[in-house]
Amino acid sequence: MSLFYIDEADELNELVQRMSKRQYEQSPGLYDELPERARKFMKRDFFYAISYLKSAIDLKQSQIFVSYVRWTYEYLTYLMVYVTREQMTKQCIDFYVAMSVCLEDELPSEDYEFAETCIQQGIQEIERLFKEGLQRIKATENQESKEKYNQIVAEYIAIILRKDSKEAMQYFLKLHQDGMNIDDIYLEVVQKVMYKIGELWFEKKISVAQEHYCTALTQTAISQLYSIIFSTPPNGHTMIGCCIGGELHELGMRMITDLFTYVGWNSLFLGAGIPEDALINIVKEQKPDLIALSVTMPQHLVLCKNMIKELRSKTPGLKIAVGGKAFEDVPAIWREWNADIYTTDARGLIQWAQTNIS
């Protein structure tokens, strides 16, 4: 019989104790990091969450529980000032994951199925609120920095178009020395530079040879940051990044693997055109936690689909991420292929990996 339908406080207390224990197991070190008052509040919140979930189940209205999750998250945003927003969000998600796991043996299958729906909708609401919060926080910063980044992009493009290799080689390192972080150099400057170079080629303002020169020089220039990127202590995780098919546009994937390295991952960039059997072999050899596959040309989507099928067959536990311009017109197709995530945002992929790969 479900604990939701009996009023014995001891059994409800036991359930909450298991939920609390589960959350601490999911997040090693959390118990010691939390102030004693916060630990008491978290235990109390399990009682509240159970009561709201019971109401949602009784009425078959998941929004009752989702509204509670939303209110709690927004309240904790202001209350938990002793941790970052990212840490607070992870704790909240872990809270509901622990709740879900512990309820599976307590509820009848029909009730648990609906409870799981409520909890997953609640987690999705947390993720939405987190993204919105970041967008609000960054909106002002972006407004102020947009012009600055545009000026930097224009300045660097002028340097490489006049073929000043010496100045280009020092440009990104100087940006970092002047205070710009690695993420912004890669995503706000280099990425936009490459978009602009592509536009100039498309508009026939530069030749194919010039486009290749600009790309090659930029790839070499960002390597001047490697002493900084590779200085991050390893976190024990490994990822592989490669471009599917005979892709020539591999700088984007190289930048993603660099950014994973910068946050502590052992990142292997395999470039483009690697044969399927060779990729399978290196995955078996390195046992990565994540593989990221990039596709620029739509003609290579079938190759990507086949690669994912083979990876799932030979390495079933591997997390698979996909991205690249080829997915823009078919952004949901990756779900049919049993990939784990599709993203257009390197920061988003790293955040997802840090959250979902333990």
CATH label of the domain that carries residue 120 = 1.10.490
Alpha-carbon distances, residue 326 vs 10, 247, 280, 309, 333 (angstroms): 56, 11, 23, 18, 11
Tens of pLDDT, residue by residue over 96-112, are 999 999 998 888 888 99
Residue 124 lies in a domain: yes
The number of distinct structural domains making up the chain is 3
Q: Which 8-state DSSP code applies to residue 321? A: E
Residue 154 lies in a domain: no
Number of H helices, E strands in the chain: 16, 5
End-to-end CA distance of the chain: 34
Please give the average per-residue pLDDT across 254-261, as a whole number.
94
Work out the angle at residue 89's Cα, subtended by the Cα atoms of residues 83 and 95, and round it to the nearest 5 degrees: 105
Which pLDDT does position 52 carry in this prediction? 84
Residue pair 290/318 in contact (Cβ under 8 Å)? The answer is yes
pLDDT tops 90 at residue 14 = no
pLDDT tops 70 at residue 135 = no
The region of weakest confidence among 77-81, 128-132, 161-165, 168-172 is: 77-81
The answer to whether residues 44 and 129 belong to one domain is: yes
Please give the average per-residue pLDDT across 35-58, as a whole number.
83
Q: Which of 183, 199, 231 is the last residue of a domain?
A: 231
Question: Between the CA atoms of 327, 330, 336 and 341, what dihedral angle is there, to the nearest 10 degrees?
Answer: 40
Residue pair 301/326 in contact (Cβ under 8 Å)? The answer is yes
pLDDT band, residue 253 (cuts 50/70/90): very high
pLDDT band, residue 5 (cuts 50/70/90): very low
* Tokens of residue 15, six digits: 């359930």
In angstroms, rounded to a whole number, what is the distance separating the alpha carbons of residues 323 and 243?
A: 10
pLDDT tops 70 at residue 3 = no
| 116 CB-side CA count, 13 A | 13
The answer to whether residues 322 and 221 belong to one domain is: no
Alpha-carbon distances, residue 300 vs 201, 297, 334 (angstroms): 22, 6, 13
Q: Which of 179, 210, 231 is the last residue of a domain?
A: 231
Residue 326 lies in a domain: yes
The answer to whether residues 125 and 209 belong to one domain is: no
pTM (predicted TM-score)? 0.59
Residue 174 lies in a domain: yes
Residue 319 lies in a domain: yes
The answer to whether residues 224 and 243 belong to one domain is: no
3-state secondary structure of 267: strand
Q: Which 8-state DSSP code applies to residue 234? A: P
Residue 148 lies in a domain: no
Query: What percent of the chain is modeled with pLDDT above 90?
Result: 46
- Better pLDDT: 2 or 306: 306
Left (φ > 0), alpha (ψ -120 to 50) or beta: where does 265 sit? beta
The answer to whether residues 201 and 239 belong to one domain is: no
Which pLDDT does position 174 carry in this prediction? 95
The answer to whether residues 125 and 244 belong to one domain is: no
pLDDT band, residue 278 (cuts 50/70/90): very high
The answer to whether residues 221 and 313 belong to one domain is: no
pLDDT tops 80 at residue 35 = no
Which pLDDT does position 4 carry in this prediction? 47
- Write b or e for each residue in 178-209: b if 16 or more Cβ atoms lie within 10 A of its Cβ, otherwise e: eebebebbbbbbbbbbbebbbebbeeeebeee
Average pLDDT value over all residues in the chain:
86
Which pLDDT does position 7 carry in this prediction? 45
Which pLDDT does position 138 carry in this prediction? 59
The answer to whether residues 216 and 248 belong to one domain is: no
Q: Identify which of 52-56, 201-205, 236-240, 340-344 has the greatest average pLDDT.
A: 236-240
Residue pair 263/284 in contact (Cβ under 8 Å)? The answer is no
CATH number at 331 reads: 3.40.50.280
The answer to whether residues 251 and 183 belong to one domain is: no
In angstroms, rounded to a whole number, what is the distance separating the alpha carbons of residues 206 and 214?
A: 10
What does the longest C-alpha to C-alpha distance in the chain come to? 78
The answer to whether residues 242 and 345 belong to one domain is: yes
3-state secondary structure of 323: strand
Range of the domain at 298: 234-358
Residue 36 lies in a domain: yes
Q: Which of 200, 231, 262 is the last residue of a domain?
A: 231
- Better pLDDT: 120 or 325: 120
Tens of pLDDT, residue by residue over 90-100, are 888 999 999 99
SS3 labels along 154-170: HHHHHHHHCCCHHHHHH
Residue pair 157/206 in contact (Cβ under 8 Å)? The answer is no
